Amino acid sequence: MAAVSQGFKADLLGAIPSLRAFAVSLTQNADKADDLVQETLVKAWDKHESFQPGTNLKAWLFTILRNEFYSQMRKRGREVQDSDGIMTARLAVHPAQHGQLDLKDFRGALEQLPEDQREAIILIGASGFSYEEAAEICGCAVGTIKSRVSRARTRLQEILKISGEDEYGPDAISAQVTGTAAH
């Protein structure tokens, strides 16, 4: 086995904050998340030769972490949630007041999403991956990611009772139009 280069090690170290954030998003538990990151680093180290230099290391590591997460869930005999089998019971979340949404409420809402939707909206809306990269990480079609993101967003809006997204844009424009009409 070829030695792991210093550069690779440094890149792994640099990726740890993102890996931890993604792991917490998946597991919703800080301890489980760090165990998952540890497993990911060991796996990445062992199979470093399969990484193609010049390709996206972060995406490669996210793929390993995600696979590890789902294989652990299966081992524990936990059924992987999917969007179709979602429970209808919802925690009561106070409606956002004056557009100010509490981060704690948001976290609670995110927790209620099925895993496949949560990971999709995190990868696209927060981790900065493209739809193509997210599809590769999740091993599914780009269209599947798009529909999961869209369902996740709709569901978060429902849970958090956000009705009029884009609340600033149209109002600002209406005001402009009204202003013009008054002249």
Choosing from 110, 113, 137, 145, the residue that interacts with other proteins (CB under 8 A) is: 110
In sequence order, the 6+-apart residues with CB closer than 8 A to the CB of 159 are 90, 93, 109, 112
Q: Which residue has the tokens 């193509």?
A: 132
Q: How far is the CB of 159 from other proteins (least distance, A)?
A: 10
Q: How far apart are CA 11 and CA 153, in angstroms?
A: 32
Choosing from 126, 139, 141, 161, the residue that interacts with other proteins (CB under 8 A) is: 126
Residue with Cβ nearer other proteins (80 or 175): 175
Q: Do the beta carbons of residue 34 and residue 21 sit within 8 Å?
A: no
Residue with Cβ nearer other proteins (132 or 167): 167
Q: Do the beta carbons of residue 106 and residue 160 sit within 8 Å?
A: yes
Q: How far is the CB of 30 from other proteins (least distance, A)?
A: 9
Burial class (CB in 10 A: 0-12, 13-18, 19+), 39: middle
2 near other proteins (CB under 8 A): yes
132 near other proteins (CB under 8 A): no
Q: Do the beta carbons of residue 69 and residue 36 sit within 8 Å?
A: yes
143 near other proteins (CB under 8 A): no
Would you state the structure tokens that stand for residue 19, as one six-digit string?
């890996």
Identify residues 42-81 at the interface with other proteins (CB under 8 A). 42, 45
Query: At residue 181, what is the residue type?
Result: A
103 near other proteins (CB under 8 A): yes
What does the binding site for other proteins look like in residue numbers (CB under 8 A)? Answer: 1-5, 9, 12-13, 16-18, 20-21, 24-25, 34, 37-38, 41-42, 45, 96, 99, 101, 103, 106-107, 110, 121-122, 124-127, 149-150, 153, 156-157, 160, 162, 164-170, 173-174, 176-177, 180-181
